[in-house]
Chains A and B, each alone.
Chain A
Amino acid sequence: DIQMTQSPSSLSASVGDRVTITCRASQTIRSYLNWYQQKPGKAPKLLIYAASTLQSGVPSRFSGSGSGTDFTLTISSLQPEDFATYYCQQSYGSPFTFGPGTKVDIK
């Protein structure tokens, strides 16, 4: 199975900050990498697919990059509604594994 790791596991940031979350795969997954946002008590929401394609309706302050084994989710200017947990997920091979999540909270 392909293992996904994320760093950091949590971070504290202020509104307006630039935030970067890293995701690493245990083997190459080319660009088969998705990012999701989850708020407490809610279902996850797709933000980015194919490593860098923004899902329709997602604000442009979110961006994704990377290929192979190393990927990044960037929030260019953190907004109050962005405080949540973020998960990466690979769709290169079965099982479709998720990273452990990165919790972004208010500093």
Chain B
Amino acid sequence: EVQLVESGGGLVEAGGSLRLACAVSGFSFSNAWMNWVRQAPGKGLEWVGRIESESDGGTTDYAAPVKGRFTISRDDSKNTLYLQMNSLRTEDTAVYYCTTLTNPPDSYYYFMDVWGKGTTVTVSS
């Protein structure tokens, strides 16, 4: 069974740091491109960033609100995706989801087909 399980959420003061993890099972993580998406309380979905597979270069890309503060990394030996969050702000309060970023063979149509259940980050002032 394909499964993504996030952990590491919690309460942190503004300016602090937190590292989220996403444990992956049921598919070849090393070949997967992965995303983080967040959802503030009562709000819509916001893409945070993505990381390519190491074989495709391991490139990362971030949304403007988190660029320079958040870092996505991966440990393929542990089948785990990470989101290091520094200089946290109250507006970073959200449920954070990790997702796969998949495209069919010979296609550039990327979509988020597998999602974890999310982990909640609360940043207090």
Instruction: Identify the A interface with B (CB < 8 A).
Output: 1, 31-32, 34, 36, 38, 42-46, 49-50, 53, 55, 87, 89, 91, 94-101
Contacts of B109 in A (CB 8 A): 31-32, 49-50, 53, 91
Contacts of B113 in A (CB 8 A): 46, 49, 55
Instruction: Identify the B interface with A (CB < 8 A).
Output: 35, 37, 44-47, 50, 61, 63-64, 97, 107-113, 115-118
| A1 to B67 Cα, complex, angstroms | 14
Q: Decide if B47 touches A96 in the complex (CB within 8 Å).
A: yes
| A53 to B111 Cα, complex, angstroms | 11
6 CB < 8 A contacts A-B: A42-B117, A44-B97, A49-B111, A49-B113, A98-B44, A100-B44
Q: Decide if A45 touches B115 in the complex (CB within 8 Å).
A: yes
Among the listed A43, A94, A95, A98, which residue makes an inter-chain contact with B115, where contact means beta carbons less than 8 Å apart? A43
